[in-house]
Structure 1
Amino acid sequence: MSRISVRGFAVASATAVTAVGSVVGVASGSTAQPNNDAEATAADTTLLADIPAGEQAQVQTASLTQQADAQAIAADASAKKDAEAAARKAAAETAVAKKAQAEKEAQEAKEAKQRKEAEQAASRSASRDSSSFPVQSSYSVAQIQAMARQMVAGGQFQCFSNIVNHESSWNYHAVNASSGAYGLFQALPAGKYSSAGADWRTNPATQIKWGLNYMNSRYGSPCDAWSFWQANSWY
């Protein structure tokens, strides 16, 4: 039984009481007018009192169920709203973090490129000074290394030196008996050195100039050339 039907039952009961009171008044000759507030008063009284005892538990259970359902619906709506708000916040934070990371990586890449370009420019600039070294009939390993230090950028020299050590041990007259590769960098054919100067056979500075230009043009820098050499045992 719904709450509406219960209230209707109470109203009907109040109406019946009022009608009986009117009849009694007429029979007794009373001039009192019927009480028009009786129905409203009866309607405002506790409803369960007018319901048979066997049905009261059902009415109470139905009312509690309706309240629980309403509360559950409200709770679900609130939880859904909170979850949506949390998801939007998390998405916004993730987007901000990704943007910041992308900007950081872009800046680091830009700085690395600038450093590399500066090193390459320094190397190219230094290599043009190879002709400033006085020509000698022979050169020691220490003298050749001193030339290289003046021609190769400081941050690239160790990589440059590693390659020369592996290729010729700083012997500018080194020749590979099987292939004919020649000089500090074991150029093959040996005539490649001529692009740096006609005296390539006897002047280690000319060979250094050629080797530095080769590493810069083919790999980007001596250190990049050394990385390739480590992976392949040649460059």
Structure 2
Amino acid sequence: MSRISARGFAVASATAVTTVGAVVGVAAGGPAASNDNVEATAAGTTLLADIPAGQQAQVQTASLAQQADAQSAQASAAAKKSAEEAARIKAAQDAKAKKDAAVKDKASKDQADKDAKDAKDAKARDLETQAASRAESRSTFKVQSSYSVSDVQAIARQIVPADQFQCFSNIVNKESSWNYTASNGSAYGLVQALPGSKMSSAGSDWQTNPATQIKWGLNYMNGRYGSPCGAWSFWTTHHSY
């Protein structure tokens, strides 16, 4: 088997590396290494024992493997960077989607609150309209010199809301038996206002007009107990209101 010197091995190694570098350099558009550089490298190499000439191919193969490893490492780094960038973009998209959902939820809640307020306001307007209607109907009551129980009850039905009339009637039955001139000490009238003069806030004819007494009694029950039924619930426990 032929042998070459250590210098020959160094030149061969440098040539192999340079050959690979030249190939890569040319592919990348760069200048190829010169033979002078090869010789200079070989010249500075420490002499070794003679190496079989056939190992020149192994040296070239090792150099190509190093290049392949380097390229593989670069590809792995690029793939990792790409994956990190994709993860960053995905996180940003998720955060935006979450923010958009929160904004949408708030808008829906605000709309629901507005709808509820509108409904409440509409109901309040309806109640005001009903109250105005009842007030108008009260103003049309014909003043009489006296009123029967049925007359007084008919007037009450026009003034008191239908769903509250029975509770109102229960209290009046207990307090005065529908006698608008009933008195008990300072208490007076259908609902036994104490003193009776309190009812002057509803009209100066509080002593003779059951409509005035009913109006005052309804306002009193609504103001103190929320409704005639609230007043009746209190009355059943305390026997007064």
Does the pair score TM above 0.5? yes
Q: From 104, 125, 129, give the equivalent of 1:121.
A: 129
1:77 alignment counterpart:
85
Aligned: 1:50 with 2:62: yes
Q: Of 10, 13, 21, which residue of structure 1 is paired with 2:17? A: 10
CA distance in 2 between counterparts of 1:139 and 1:46 reads 130
Does 1:100 pair with 2:105? no
Code of the residue aligned with 2:227 in structure 1: it is A
Match of 2:48 in 1: none
Q: Secondary structure at the match of 2:227?
A: helix
> What is the distance in 2 between the residues matched to 1:81 and 1:229?
66
The answer to whether the 8 Å contact 2:199/2:213 transfers is yes
- Change beyond 3 A, Cα 1:67–1:194: same
Q: Tell me, what secondary structure is at the counterpart of 1:169?
A: helix
The whole-number CA distance in structure 1 between the counterparts of 2:16 and 2:153 is 114
Select which of 166, 169, 174 maps to 2:173: 169
Is the contact between residue 173 and residue 184 of structure 1 (CA under 8 Å) also seen in structure 2?
yes
1-side partners of 2:158 and 2:61: how far apart?
Answer: 111
Equivalent residues of 1:123, 1:212 under 8 A apart: no
Per-residue CA deviations over 1:31-53 (Å, capped at 9, x if unaligned) read xxxxxxxxxxxxxx99971349x
Query: After the TM superposition, which segments of 4 or more aligned residues of structure 1 sit over 6 Å from their partners?
Result: 6-9, 45-48, 174-177, 230-235
Aligned length: 190
Unmatched tracts of structure 1, length 5 or more: 1-5, 20-44
Aligned to 1:204: 210
Secondary structure of 1:135's counterpart equals: coil
Once residues 46 and 163 of structure 1 are traced to their aligned partners in structure 2, the CA distance between those partners, rounded to angstroms, is 111
1:181-230 CA-partner distances (Å, limit 9, x unpaired): 554444333211123234434543221122344567x48xx9x5358658
Question: How far apart in 1 are the matches of 2:91 and 2:189?
Answer: 72
Structure 2 unaligned residues grouped into runs of 5+: 1-12, 23-34, 40-56
The letter for the 1-side match of 2:148 is Y
Instruction: From the superposition, tell whether residues 71 and 176 of structure 1 become closer, same or farther in structure 2 (CA, over 3 Å).
Output: farther
CA distance in 1, matches of 2:86, 2:112: 39
Give the Cα–Cα distance (whole angstroms) in 1 for the partners of residues 200 and 152 of structure 2: 18
Q: Which has the higher contact order (CA 8 A, sep 6+)?
A: 1
Partner Cα separation in structure 2 for residue 182 and residue 78 of structure 1: 86
8 Å contact from structure 2 (residues 153, 178) kept in 1: no
Q: C-alpha separation between the residues in 2 aligned to 1:189 and 1:47?
A: 122
**Alpha-carbon separation, structure 2, partners of 1:128 and 1:92:** 53
Structure 2-normalised TM-score?
A: 0.55
Letter in 1 for 2:173: S
CA 1:146 to 1:48, structure 2 compared with 1: closer, same or farther past 3 Å? farther
Deviation at 1:11, TM superposition (A): 0.7
TM-score, with structure 1 as normaliser: 0.56
Q: CA RMSD in A?
A: 4.7
Instruction: State the distance in 2 between where 1:78 and 1:176 align.
Output: 89
Change (3 A) 1:166 1:100: same
Q: Quote the Cα distance in structure 1 between the aligned partners of 2:221 and 2:60.
A: 100
Partner of 1:37: none
